[in-house]
Amino acid sequence: MAVVDDGIDPNHNDLKENFHSLSFDGKSGTSPSVFISNYNHGTHVAGTIAAVQNNLQVVGVAPESKILRVSNDLSYSTTLSAELASGISWAWNQGGADVINCSWGDQGGNYNLHSAALENAIVNALSLGRNNKGSIVVFAAGNYGHVSI
pTM for the full model? Answer: 0.90
* pLDDT digit string, tens, across residues 84-97: 999 999 999 999 99
Q: Which helix (H) or strand (E) holds 24?
A: strand 19-25
Q: Label residue 130 exposed, middle or buried (CB < 10 Å: 0-12, 13-18, 19+).
A: middle
What's domain 2-139's architecture? 3-Layer(aba) Sandwich (3.40)
Residues 18 and 65: beta-carbon distance below 8 Å:
yes
CA distance 77 to 89: 19
Q: Tell me which residue of 4, 140, 2, 139 sits closest to 71, measured CA to CA.
A: 4
Q: Would you state the pLDDT for residue 104?
A: 86
Q: Which residues of 69-83 are buried (b: 16+ CB within 10 A; e: fewer)?
A: bbbbbbeeeeebbbb
Q: Tell me which residue of 72, 15, 76 sits closest to 48, measured CA to CA.
A: 15
Q: Would you state the pLDDT for residue 35?
A: 95
Q: Would you state the pLDDT for residue 79?
A: 92
Q: Would you state the pLDDT for residue 1?
A: 95
CA distance 129 to 95: 10
For each successive 10 residues of the chain (149 residues), what is the average pLDDT? 95 93 96 89 94 81 95 90 97 97 73 86 98 95 60
Domain ranges within the chain, ordered by starting residue = 2-139
| DSSP-assigned letters across all residues of 96-112 | --SEEEE----TTTT--
Q: Would you state the pLDDT for residue 76?
A: 84
Q: Would you state the pLDDT for residue 24?
A: 98
CA distance 110 to 56: 38
CA distance 129 to 102: 16
